[in-house]
A and B are shown apart, each in its own frame.
Chain A
Amino acid sequence: MRLPDKRCDIAVAVARIKDSDTVMVGGFGVPGTPMALIHALVDHGARDLTLIKNDANEPGMGIDHLLKSGQVARLITTHLGLNSHAIDLMNSGRIQVEFNAQGILAERIRAGGAGIGAVLSDIGIGTELADGKQVVEVDGKPHLVESALRADFALIHADRADHFGNLAYVATARNFNPLMAMAATRVIAEAETILPLGALDADAVHTPGVFVDHVAELVALSGEYAVVQR
């Protein structure tokens, strides 16, 4: 038996994203942000998107291109501190922003990927992040109901992949990628290197290929992946 080959052209894979879809995007700052997939989505032009991403990168980088092109209606995130452009869009009401505590965003995505409806946590009780959330008591203590998050698409950046879509990440580029790779109906991964079946050691796989639908090799890395000169 041979595992299926999921290699795909980036533009073909991204063309499946429709207007009003929800799209998870991996990355925390530059590391792990799928810059090439994001550019393909800008070229594709799907609009009215809901993005789920830890942060909004920096002006002129990563998902800021989607914000600039006006394709984003709503952003579910944790922190926009490095992107003044995103903050301006939020403050002027041109995008709707939902802030989550960072680890709660991770758990909501993990729950979505694990087939669980919600997680319970006491994080944020007594703060405005608890506003409007259902409270349940467990062992006599109040917990907020944090609903699971799923998306129509997840855009993932991996260091290495194989033809089946098994993925391995490197250093702090892992972050939200393995969680999001489990939580979308269709998962598109870009990888810096794609190896033949068997060349990515089974013990070294971070995301099993079962979760991944399409994998595309990055022929060259654009300058956006490089160290940011501040």
Chain B
Amino acid sequence: MSPNWLLFPGNTPLSNAKTRMIARAAREIAPGMVVNLGIGLPTRVVDHLPADFPVCLHTENGLTGIGPSLPPDRADRNLIDAGGAYVSTVPGSAFFDSATSFAMVRSGRLDLTMLGAFEVSSQGDLANWKIPGKFSPGVGGGIELAQKARRVVVLTTHTDRAGNPKLRDTCALPLTAQGCVSRVFTEMAVIDITPQGYALAEIAEGVSLAEVREATGAPFTIPHDTVPVF
């Protein structure tokens, strides 16, 4: 079961916790990286990078060097990201076709991708594209990103809307890719996937170890004497 405050809608402690999680995930991006940010929470990571931070953002529909999002009145009708948001270019941007875009992905040119998740397993399996009978819009570029980016991290709420843990021993839902996830950022914790399973790397301010344990569907180790707070 999740802590009570997870159930509050709107601008509540969850929103603050989510923002803190996104800001923490932004620190995962090192200068010089080529990065693909998945649709949803990961897209917001870029808001927490300094404007002059040296990074190359990739989007599947054929752009490297994504600039800031634009409101409709300033948008270019031919310039969107893979989620359909109107974006801009930066000095040095490049456009290319869909085969070239995924050649970059499959050949390991992406240093990092940040993706959402329905479920993650303690072996790093990821399920984020299909809930049989409920949600099956297609996989898009998700499989290739998950399978081929050099590092895959997940940004997600710790539990689903019903309070069920998203971090589990094994995934019950159809997989996007096996053994691909290195690290999970949630509003409660930063959790690494290790050969021994989950390991608690950091904990969110105001969250207790007991609460993380209760909201996590599998055991985790605590590799260091003190758990840093974010």
Contact = CB atoms under 8 A, between A and B. Distances in A.
Interface of A: 28-32, 54, 77-82, 87, 90-91, 97, 99, 101-107, 109-110, 121-124, 126-129, 159, 169-179, 225-230
Given A106-B97, A228-B72, 15 more contacts: A28-B98, A31-B77, A31-B78, A78-B141, A79-B138, A81-B140, A101-B139, A103-B103, A104-B102, A105-B98, A126-B175, A171-B78, A174-B62, A177-B97, A227-B76
Task: Count chain A CB atoms within 10 A of each CB in B95, B140, B175 and give the residue with the most.
Answer: B140
Nearest to A176: B98
A168 to B, nearest CB: 11
B98 A175 contact: yes
Nearest to B133: A91
A124 B137 contact: no
Contacts of B54: none
A54 B63 CA distance: 16
A172 B99 contact: no
Given A28-B61, A103-B106, A226-B77, A174 B95 contact: yes
Interface in B154-175: 174-175
Interface residues of B, number: 42
A107 B102 contact: yes
If over half of B's interface residues share one DSSP class (helix, strand or loop), that class is named, otherwise mixed; here it is loop
A159 B148 CA distance: 33
B201 to A, nearest CB: 26
A103 B75 contact: no
B98 A179 contact: yes
Interface stretch (B5-13, B30-38, B79-87, B211-219): B79-87
Contacts of A77: 138
Nearest to B137: A81
B5 to A, nearest CB: 30
